[in-house]
Amino acid sequence: MEQFTVRTNQRMEMVDITDQVNSLLSKSGAKEGLCIVYIPHTTCGVTVNEGADPAVARDILEHLARLVPKTGPYHHREGNADSHILTTLVGSSQAFVVQGGKVRLGTWQRIFLCEFDGPRTRTVWVKLIGA
């Protein structure tokens, strides 16, 4: 397993980590297999979506914030209950097919770390299964 860190700059943001994931795969020398990207944090997740138009990430974050508002009738009193809920909705891991030494993505797809309680330094774990 390999890992890298990402420094986020805002409370909520989506950071494209596709190149970092592919760089680790390239260093491994593996050409084919399955790649698991896992975020070991309870207020930060990972997803796949369009990376060509930054408005897509903005739309996603704005709608998630409306779906799960920062303030609410939450029992968790640290002020980040919404971040925990958003991470549960988005998820902490994604699996990818590796082909030709890179994750196999659709034309517009990119891998995003989803920060919901930043700014922070986040860790991303990458595990390659296969040859």
DSSP labels, 38-83: E---SSEEEEEEE-S-HHHHHHHHHHHHHHS-SSSS-S--SS-HHH
Question: What confidence tens digit (pLDDT) does each residue in 30-70 have?
Answer: 899 999 999 999 999 999 999 999 999 999 999 999 999 99
All domains in the chain, ordered by first residue: 2-129 (2.60.120.460)
**Phi-psi domain of 130 (left: phi exceeds 0; alpha: psi -120 through 50; beta: other):** left
Question: What confidence tens digit (pLDDT) does each residue in 87-103 have?
Answer: 999 999 999 999 999 99
Read off the pLDDT band of 83 (50, 70, 90): very high
Residue 112 has pLDDT above 80, yes or no: yes
